[in-house]
A and B are shown apart, each in its own frame.
Chain A
């Protein structure tokens, strides 16, 4: 190992010239140190993109592409439709039942391996064959995402078209949504895994994580909580040992220090709570799908007049909706805002508005041509900023009235009281009031679920009354949903027949934090204004154990004066400790139930050195099986900012919130009854 203790230059075989004198003294300090950045996950996007291009190129001649609508969003994150046009895709249709209208030689279906799609495709092929097109026989290809399944082959065989179709796969796995966020963008994973017991998403997750390891090296350590987490960890090890041709030569990663798998079933409380970060609120009340939000075109178009004044009513007659990609890459203002508690978004926006005004105002003070040139150069940036300011002001205006609703306030109060364990039975009255006012059924159920989880079930009589009222108000078709929630142990009578551990870990994991400063948070609990997500506390058990045991700044503020606090505020950034394992939290873990995972992996060789480096930043991957919320993402980002030497890379099966969960657990709403004649 090289030693730096000797002050004398050692004998060097290669006589290097001394470094040239630097012309600008501060050039080094202005360049951000590369170690500060986490893993470069762009390569995954590139992999997905080139895989698609190759798959399409392999098909000779003009193609008609028929796309699974649910894939359009995820696909748009790795490539652009324009690119598809280059690969000789002439026409694109949605995959839906009904005859094809094709005049190209090839027909290519791109879809998830779902049975209903296979049946549709089979019917379309049969229809086409019984009525051959003039251009001669067509070539049929199905690209299945992320893999071709035997099940699909069988369905095609049963319909007698298997011989006419080429089946191949397009491995769209972890999609980089942001620098620190990867998602499989799979839908309804929680339902499949935890309600239906269909472990397909677990298997896909394990394959995606293997691909990740092929790109970045073997996780030196795998930690996790929950039975699903255990299954993934087992599968990862099994893939590694039983498939040496594919994974045999992966070295242990030098950039990633570990994988933490959080099984959603360990923490249902968090997604049930109403998210209070900006991005979380947008997802709850406007809806974010595949990183896209659908908003009035007027908010996006820079040419139209500024958005109507706030007093204007929300029901403007004709509003054209447009999809907008929410990304920090193009919108720096968004990256500033998204993880803030919504309470401080307004003031942050006005600050930016004032600064922009000042920047534009700068035009008056231009004295020389060079100053003007500089200003003009800045203009483009200013316009972009102005545009994103308009968008986010508009969105904030959209959310503001919702937060002012009496029902919103009461819901929040009930949820926070329940999480804090304060007077559960009176919260039931609040839930009843909310139902009487017919607030959204999902909100009501989420709050009831929080009650059941935090208070150890609901008294049988009260629960029955609640269910009866719920069905009367929102319709009897929700009955299977209520049964599903019972089977998931989310809505049960007390005393519960199963372990409902929330109240037992509330204290030890410091889930409820009273004094939280929304504008300058000192704890992750700011994302729910006082509730620290259990899932993320578990991650902190492994990476920031001090934050669980105590709140550093609170204890400081009691003993020290203002200036000292500010100093520690700056110093509030902690050095990353090595991944510690679960030691010290055994009690909480055993109370939580489910398997606990802690295994070490060893590759054949190590890529790069293992020399511990003070300034090196390591990446810790946190994988959510069953999806995560934007608040959890915000909390992990906060932790990344507060830790020197560690970045969290969030990976998930998809992004969820309480509403999407509730919808997925129930059946489709009933169809319209036919009018009687």
Chain B
């Protein structure tokens, strides 16, 4: 169907060129599209349709049970889905699935690669009761208008809870509404545009803004693909285009005459970001900004799909694409173009005809040659027709030959891309994706889509061709292979045991051949398990290097112990917890502890440790049981000690201490600890007794032995202090320290003096001096009184510490320590101290 010139499909609206190209002649036999509810996937995606039972049946054929038919864009049937719920409110294609929403508050997600399998989610009781009036979807979610005139936003397709948007308080359904999806809305979150009475409300989860427009109500609101413009159709048949924040008026056109007086259009879509398209019955009208238009007729009906760079028109007979002619194409082909690219293209023509004009042309554009080549490459990408692509690339290649330096990467990339695009556009594949759409949606999205169409080989080749990781394709392929091989033989015995090995080997070999390490074997194993092939699943799972992937499936397969071992091996403690908690809830305590018995399986020790950490925080009873069962007396004792500390009632604390002593005592290794726990118990009991004896005027409970004695001494109960001392065999030295501190703290200087004299101090007397000096405020006078009892060698320095330089000098003199005296003279501060030292030195001199 090669055409003589590329401009044969061109037409103008107000000096702007548009082109309409037929891509496919439809393979289907559907006389009238208007009898169906239709949904079409973006970027050349497939078509889904179900007979609209609200329309009167024209043909006499019995419609049979309702079903959804899915076709490619070229009209080849892909699959048929039986539909047993009420008529769908919404059908929507994502990259790899079809979402169908029924008005009973239920939606189903069909995997395009296997439509016999679907997931069904409910939107909750409230929605079920009120019903659904309408819904609008985008790639990752949808917004639903419920029968109670509230909007609910749903993010993701995995059964998440709907988020109610702000209540608008409408009393009747809006005349029309639409959404700005998160990728184009200014806030990054879904925004709604609602036409109600004469105005439009914008709404999101947080606020409602009345745009204060008085021209409504509007029958249609459409957002342009880039989200910056709105097309509104008024009830009076005016098409009004404004910026999406309503700040700029862009155009206003009376469309009454365009639609042949057929009233308001059935459907309105943007054609790229430049023009609006209306459908009235079988007529499609593209309207320019000033009302000029192009129109085509497709009796009896047509369906239009807006794409980011144009418009697809689907009719009974054909699939066509309308777009504003891209600038690069315009530069090369527009009649009379003097763009260097046009001249280059022309030069190739001359060259092939061996005309000398070729050289002349090249010369004339020499400075712009790079630009010309690039433009030709760009233009090649915008052609659907392979001939023109070739021709343009050839022109680029021709121009390249005349350049000194040229970076061929753009050229190579375009050639590669076109190879891919042509492959997927081939009518059997039927994905009429344009270069712009391909770039905007990214190659990996296309590959995902191909995979969902079960076109694995094509997807794999494209991945390799574009240098992308093939793991997604391979993993999908493997799952599909398992599903298919499982469906073939209904009776498992037919398959034979060899089949599992065969499938597993085929999958592993394929992955190894493609050199892919990133494929999740666990994912594939899960598929095998879900298809009732436990043995195959186990075999596949063995190839999975990531424990985090293995463990959930192993648990589902009831391979608890292996799951726990794998989790421990992984080093990921959260994974171990996951298994532990699963086991705890699914096994009896006996079996649970048995699995964890580390005398049987020492490699599970880390899991046992984690169990203790968990139980200590969350499940004390479990911990106690575990310690008891496992004969861990030390741990039991420690637990009791810890809990004793947390008790704020003395009786409870005593009880725990008793238990601690008991547990420790049951272990030969812990007799000392048992004794200590007993001592603790004894101490607290004694403290209680004393408190009672002293009419609860004092608080002793909780004090350590030292603090207890100290306190008793401070309060003057020296007999009782003495008793504690003997009962706990407090050594002399320590007791002296306690008493020294207590007496000093209570400023009982006389008592301290008597205590010092009571017998020879086991700690010496320097501590007396130092301690008195360290008090706040220091007591140098008191301190100095103990210096004479200290070692003569250190007396001088101790006196200095007490601030008594005279006595310091005296004691140095007494020892005939000349050098000390000199040192004192040097160190003594000016004034009295200096004079005192000098005085002593003078006396020595005598």
Contacts and interface: CB of A to CB of B under 8 A. Distances in A.
Interface in B504-559: 517-518, 545-546
A473 interface: yes
Interface in A257-314: 313
Contacts of B609: 196-198
B726 to A, nearest CB: 13
A473 B679 CA distance: 13
A476 B679 contact: yes
A46 interface: no
Contacts of A480: 638, 641-642
B469 A245 contact: yes
Interface in A547-589: none
Interface stretch (A387-395, A444-452, A622-630, A662-670): A662-670
A243 B187 CA distance: 35
Contact of A673 (B545, B546, B648): B648
Interface stretch (A150-158, A218-226, A632-640): A150-158
Contacts of B163: 139
Interface string A41-84: 00000000000000001001100000000000000000000000
A155 B617 CA distance: 12
Contacts of B189: 60
A92 interface: no
Contact of B574 (A114, A151, A674): A151
Nearest to A155: B618
A458 interface: no
Interface stretch (B588-596, B694-702, B826-834): B694-702
Nearest to B774: A405
A244 B545 CA distance: 11
Contacts of A475: 704
A323 to B, nearest CB: 27
B547 to A, nearest CB: 9
B802 to A, nearest CB: 15
Contacts, number: 170
A153 to B, nearest CB: 9
B679 A471 contact: yes
A483 B673 contact: yes
Contact of B614 (A115, A202, A464, A672): A115
B376 interface: no
A472 B770 contact: no
A476 B704 contact: yes
A106 B456 CA distance: 44
A479 interface: yes
Contacts of A137: 164
A249 to B, nearest CB: 10
Nearest to B733: A436
B644 A245 contact: no
Contact of A406 (B704, B733, B770): B770
A203 B706 contact: no
Contacts of A413: none
B650 A676 contact: yes
Chain B interface extent, by class: 35 or more
A675 interface: yes
Given A199-B571, A241-B545, A313 B577 contact: no
Contacts of B737: 436-438
Contacts of A149: 574, 577
Given A151-B574, A480-B638, A673-B650, A105 B517 contact: no
A455 to B, nearest CB: 20
A196 B518 contact: no
A60 B575 CA distance: 32
Contacts of B21: none
Interface string B4-38: 00000000000000000000000000000000000
Given A476-B683, A483-B634, A671-B646, A200 B704 contact: no
A436 B705 CA distance: 12
Interface in A412-447: 432-433, 435-438
B577 A676 contact: no
B677 interface: yes
Interface string B670-703: 0011001101100100001001000010010110
B701 A673 contact: yes
Given A60-B189, A668-B645, A231 B610 contact: no
Contacts of B634: 483
B648 A672 contact: yes
Nearest to A200: B573
Nearest to A675: B699
A672 to B, nearest CB: 7
A469 B575 CA distance: 44
A263 to B, nearest CB: 15
A373 interface: no
B412 interface: no
B546 A202 contact: no
A397 B575 CA distance: 51
Most chain A beta-carbon neighbours within 10 Å: one of B676, B733, B767, B777: B676
B469 A477 contact: no
B476 interface: no
Given A248-B517, A406-B770, A468-B676, A61 B573 contact: no
A315 B776 contact: yes
A321 to B, nearest CB: 20
A150 B646 contact: no
A435 B738 CA distance: 11
B106 interface: no
A238 B680 CA distance: 50
B705 A472 contact: yes
Interface string B612-628: 11100110000000000
A315 B775 CA distance: 12
Interface in A176-235: 192, 196-200, 202-203, 206, 231, 234-235
A154 B676 contact: no
A476 B676 contact: yes
A485 B642 CA distance: 16
Interface string B639-653: 001101111111001
A200 B610 CA distance: 9
B730 interface: yes
Contact of B642 (A155, A244, A432, A667): A667
Nearest to A669: B645
Contact of A476 (B642, B649, B680): B680
A244 B767 CA distance: 68
B763 interface: yes
Nearest to A195: B609
Contacts of A139: 163
A37 interface: no
A474 interface: yes
A198 B571 contact: no
A467 interface: yes
B406 interface: no
A137 B152 CA distance: 13
B626 to A, nearest CB: 14
A242 interface: yes
Given A199-B571, A479-B677, A474 B645 contact: no
Q: Which 3 A-B pairs have the closest CB atoms?
A: A197-B609, A476-B680, A670-B645
Given A203-B574, A234-B571, 5 more contacts: A150-B577, A154-B577, A192-B613, A438-B706, A671-B648
Interface of A: 57, 60-61, 105, 114-116, 136-137, 139, 147, 149-151, 154-155, 163, 192, 196-200, 202-203, 206, 231, 234-235, 238, 241-245, 248, 313, 315, 406, 432-433, 435-438, 464, 467-469, 471-477, 479-480, 483, 667-676
10 contacts: A60-B205, A105-B205, A136-B164, A206-B571, A245-B471, A471-B679, A471-B704, A475-B704, A476-B679, A479-B660
